[in-house]
Amino acid sequence: MFYNFQMKNLVNILLAYINKSLKRSSKVLDFHYPHQLKEGLEGFSLELPDQPDNLEQLLVDCRDTLKYGVKTGHPRFFNQLSTGLDIIGLAGEWLTSTANTNMFTYEISPVFILMEEVVLRKMHSIIGWPEEDGDGIFCPGGTMSNLYSVLLARFHLFPVVKTHGMSAIPRLALFTSAHVHNLIIFTQINTTFWFLSVRGKMISSELNSSIETAKSKGLVPFYVNATAGTTVYGAFDPLNEIADICKHHGLWMHVDAAWGGGLLLSNKHRVKLQGIERAHSVTWNPHKMMGVPLQCSTILVKKKGLLQECNQLCAEYLFQPDKHYDVSYDTGDKSIQCGRHVDVFKLWLMWKAKGSEGFEAQINHCLENAEYLYYKLKRRSDFQLVFKGKPEHSNVCFWYLPKRLQSILPSPERDRELHMVAPKIKTKMMEEGFTMIGYQPLEDKVNFFRCVFSNPATQREDVDFLIDEIVRLGCE
């Protein structure tokens, strides 16, 4: 009874937080430096006690944990690719934790395992793979999804690697553009070729010559990673051209559509991913553009059965072959993980609640916001866009030029000053807490802001607010 009562209090804390997150008058964050949080604030201590705290204190801790965090669902949070606070998704996450089961086997997750099959099949058909093809798994984030793709490609070419390791196979070469998601870099492949891109897009002729170079050095090219929606510029690689090259050289084609995959749901924007259906594998993170609560990421594979063959270890205490049901539903053995969180339910529930058309509308809305920001900035002399052309995705990259820099012609000295503008503004922005946007340098470009839209709650007035806020903080 007492626990029930406290649970209701917790729900009230969560509901109050949700209301605040969605209210423009509340701050996005109440920033404190690490030492302040470590020292403890107004009764909020991170230290662990020897004696149990009482339930009232735990409620205060819950409230304060949210209070000193960042409201990533706030319509003025533009800092990350994963934003928003979808209430149905949140309900799904709560149900998932309440069920507290594991995605190893049908035995302990009958409904979730079948849901995974249904959702993955839907994603395959949206990619455009024939009905008889298609496999996949939910896994923890885009890095893991991409890692799966490399393991699969390597196993597909040299199955012996599973039993005899890397020393039993030739030196392999992997190809990706310079704008790759951080994640491909961590793979255990002998040689990775990076090459130039234009506006973040892979140049396919460069890909072809890199493959020839690798061959001439005695390496075995085996895998190309194409990106559909780069993290900073939101660029899409030319997938059909890359597919032609992969076909010509007999290489595995992976498309990292962690960020761009959501656009497949939009009749207006899916053209940017033309050729994705020719890929051998695809990474698609519904926790990005589709607004599903973190984390929700998939590796989708065209060839059925390969995931299992590549990763299966047949642990007999979980995957007994003589069970009384169809053990092909014990999908945990496709995974390199053992414990696997149920990530599918919140996506399934959101899909039920919105339908594919609801996702399409919310994705189109985010790209309209990006276009709105782009046209606003284009007209102003105190902002400079990193690229003249319209954004392909919902990423808009730009510099703010304080008055003293507006009249100076581009030069190394001007760049040195410009490089410091974004971090200075960001510092004040976080200390005041009304909005949040990210910045970075990239290649020869000094620090610039990257605004991304994935929160359907964001409206044009929030975009106007962001611009005014950058000017206000940049002027002081």
Q: How far apart are CB 396 and ligand ABU at their closest, in Å?
A: 14
Pairwise CA distance, residues 64 & 13, whole Å: 10
> Going residue by residue from 38 to 77, which x/- string records binding to ligand ABU, judged by CB under 6 A?
----------------------------------------
Q: How far apart are CB 236 and ligand ABU at their closest, in Å?
A: 16
Instruction: Choose between 5 and 186: whose C-beta lies nearer to ligand ABU.
Output: 186
Nearest Cα residue to 183 out of 139, 221, 218: 139
Q: From the list 28, 81, 373, 436, which residue makes contact with ligand ABU (rule: CB under 6 A)?
A: 81
Distance (Å) of CA 388 to CA 3, 99, 391: 58, 50, 9
Instruction: Choose between 62 and 178: whose C-beta lies nearer to ligand ABU.
Output: 178
Q: How far apart are CB 254 and ligand ABU at their closest, in Å?
A: 16
Return phi, psi of residue 159, to 5°. Answer: -55, -25
Q: How far apart are CB 286 and ligand ABU at their closest, in Å?
A: 13
Q: How far apart are CB 155 and ligand ABU at their closest, in Å?
A: 25
Chain residues 153-182 in contact with ligand ABU, contact rule CB under 6 A: none
φ/ψ region of 356 (left if φ > 0, alpha if ψ in -120 to 50, else beta) reads alpha
Q: From the list 21, 74, 77, 80, which residue makes contact with ligand ABU (rule: CB under 6 A)?
A: 80
Q: How far apart are CB 142 and ligand ABU at their closest, in Å?
A: 5
Nearest Cα residue to 72 out of 22, 33, 143: 22
Instruction: Choose between 207 and 452: whose C-beta lies nearer to ligand ABU.
Output: 452
Chain residues 426-465 in contact with ligand ABU, contact rule CB under 6 A: none
Q: How far apart are CB 450 and ligand ABU at their closest, in Å?
A: 8
Contacts of 399 (CB under 8 A, 6+ apart): 383, 384, 386, 418, 421, 422, 446, 448, 449
Query: What is the end-to-end Cα distance of the chain in Å, rounded?
Result: 55
Task: Report the interhelical angle of 204-216 vs 239-249 (nearest 10°).
Answer: 20
Instruction: Choose between 63 and 287: whose C-beta lies nearer to ligand ABU.
Output: 287
Instruction: Choose between 80 and 458: whose C-beta lies nearer to ligand ABU.
Output: 80
- Cα angle 462, 466, 469 (rounded to 5 degrees) comes to 130
Q: How far apart are CB 297 and ligand ABU at their closest, in Å?
A: 9
For residue 286, state whether it binds ligand ABU (rule: CB under 6 A): no
Pairwise CA distance, residues 267 & 130, whole Å: 19
> How many residues interact with ligand ABU (rule CB under 6 A)?
4
Give Cα 263 to chain centroid, integer Å: 13
Pairwise CA distance, residues 310 & 151, whole Å: 8
Instruction: Choose between 80 and 362: whose C-beta lies nearer to ligand ABU.
Output: 80
Pairwise CA distance, residues 5 & 2, whole Å: 5
Instruction: Choose between 80 and 197: whose C-beta lies nearer to ligand ABU.
Output: 80
Q: From the list 142, 234, 275, 293, which residue makes contact with ligand ABU (rule: CB under 6 A)?
A: 142
Contacts of 246 (CB under 8 A, 6+ apart): 224, 252, 253, 278
Q: From the list 177, 231, 369, 458, which residue makes contact with ligand ABU (rule: CB under 6 A)?
A: 231
Q: Which residues bind ligand ABU (CB under 6 A)?
A: 80-81, 142, 231
